[in-house]
Amino acid sequence: MQIKPGLPWKELPLGGVIDVPGSSVEFHTGDWRSSRPVIDLNKCTGCMLCWLNCPDNAIKIKNGKVEIDYDHCKGCGLCASVCPVKAISMRREALEEEERHGSKHKP
Ligand code: SF4
Ligand code: SF4
């Protein structure tokens, strides 16, 4: 049985057993993240250590460049800590949100 978001609890399998692999793709776990990794591609050497260490498989390769899958990145910061050239910085989601939509607190 595939567990999907919004499934009523009465329809969950006994013991919450996950018997279909890959079901986590359906859940956008990134929506409760408090910090997000941002990659500076000018610094990135393509060593792939971030990809190798991400516990959520949230780093993808597109057109030969690393990219974050923000739907599934939980913001743990492991990628930033292993990057040998410090190409990844962790930014507070609240600040990102302010920058996207403008802040009331700006002078
Ligand atoms: S912050 Fe954590 S979950 Fe997100 S991409 Fe980096 S290692 Fe993966
Ligand atoms: S660990 Fe850093 S340098 Fe290596 S691929 Fe990831 S972002 Fe690029």
Per-residue model confidence as pLDDT tens digits over 76-93: 999 999 999 999 999 999
**Is the model more confident about 5 or about 37?**
37
Residue with tokens 């990102």: 96
Per-residue model confidence as pLDDT tens digits over 27-82: 888 888 999 999 999 999 999 999 999 999 999 999 999 999 999 999 999 999 99
d(CA 33, CA 70) in angstroms, rounded, equals 9
Query: Cα Rg for the chain, rounded, in angstroms?
Result: 17
Q: Select from 38, 42, 47 the residue to mutate for testing ligand 2; criterion: most ligand atoms less than 8 Å from CB.
A: 47
Protein residue whose Cα sits closest to atom 8 of ligand 2: 44
The domains found in the chain, sorted by start residue, are: 30-100 (3.30.70.20)
Contact 59 CB / ligand 1 (< 6 Å): yes
> What string of DSSP letters covers 17-76?
---STTGGGGS-GGGG-SEEEEE-TTT-----HHHHH-TT--EEEETTEEEE-TTT----
**Is the model more confident about 9 or about 22?**
9
The pLDDT score that the predictor gives to residue 104 is 54
